[in-house]
């Protein structure tokens, strides 16, 4: 109960700050120098946050779709031989730093949101793929026997048994991807994407620690809220499947 109350208070405080940051200026004033502004006002913090979340949501959705499709393909009889290749492909995003992906994407896609989406998509593939793979391959042997006994076709088993049972682990992979992408998306501002990294970069360029704190705190609180939100979905899915 205490944890939920703290989460609720954090969410309300974050919302109040994003909607009307002015009253919070005294909290950040000690972190400024030479009478610099305590609150970032060049762009609306609320609009930057919404843009940041939208970029992360699109990237996580794309990583989830591709990662899940690959996991399903390599766990079917016809695609098992492609498992090493699928693991190599999904690991590419983890071997290339997001900054390098941005540098390679900008000459092709130009500045803006596109390169950031590519970097987040590649970086988020591996957690979703590996968790989906674990969920699809880690089911008890009795499940397969029961499915055969019921006369289910492979497609029916996939939709009615395999995917529902794998859902908690899939959600865990999405949780990891979402939290990682939320923090990584801040570097998108270096290539003109509208993210909360704009506030952090402005603070670094002007030596205004207050701006850096604002960007970092908003991203940090959002990460905690998203982490716990996905955790609640995992537990709910587990209970529905009788796994928890």
* Interval 158-189: pLDDT, tens: 788 888 888 999 999 999 999 999 999 999 99
Question: Helix or strand or coil: residue 241?
Answer: coil
Q: Rounded mean pLDDT of 96-124?
A: 88
Q: Does the pTM exceed 0.75? A: yes
Contact assessment for residue 171 and residue 230, using Cβ atoms and an 8 Å cutoff: yes
The burial of 97, by beta-carbon neighbours within 10 Å (0-12 exposed, 13-18 middle, 19 or more buried), is given as middle
The pLDDT score that the predictor gives to residue 244 is 53
243 contact partners, CB below 8 Å, separation of at least 6: 165, 168
Residue 150 DSSP one-character state: T
Place of tokens 């609306």: 44
| Domains of the chain: residue spans and CATH | 44-240 (1.10.3720.10)
Angle at 39 between CA 23 and CA 208, to 5 degrees: 140
């Amino acid at each position: 109960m205490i944890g939920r109350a703290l989460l609720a208070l954090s969410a309300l405080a974050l919302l109040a700050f994003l909607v009307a940051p002015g009253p919070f200026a005294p909290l950040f004033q000690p972190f400024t120098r030479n009478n610099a502004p305590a609150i970032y006002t060049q762009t609306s913090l609320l609009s930057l946050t919404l843009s940041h979340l939208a970029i992360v949501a699109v990237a996580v959705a794309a990583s989830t779709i591709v990662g899940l499709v690959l996991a399903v393909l390599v766990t079917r009889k016809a695609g098992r031989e492609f498992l090493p290749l699928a693991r190599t492909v999904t690991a590419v995003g983890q071997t290339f730093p997001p900054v390098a992906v941005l540098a390679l994407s900008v000459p092709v896609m130009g500045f803006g949101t596109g390169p950031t989406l590519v970097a987040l998509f590649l970086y988020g593939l591996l957690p979703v793929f590996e968790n989906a793979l674990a969920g699809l391959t880690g089911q008890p042997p009795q499940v397969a026997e029961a499915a055969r006994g019921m006369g289910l076709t492979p497609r029916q088993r996939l939709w009615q048994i395999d995917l529902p049972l794998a859902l908690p682990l899939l959600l865990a992979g999405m949780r990891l991807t979402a939290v990682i992408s939320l923090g990584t998306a801040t570097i998108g501002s270096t290539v003109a994407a509208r993210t909360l990294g704009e506030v952090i970069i402005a603070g670094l360029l002007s030596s205004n620690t207050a701006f850096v704190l604002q960007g970092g705190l908003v991203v940090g609180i959002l990460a905690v809220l998203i982490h716990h939100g996905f955790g609640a979905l995992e537990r709910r899915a587990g209970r529905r499947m009788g796994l928890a």
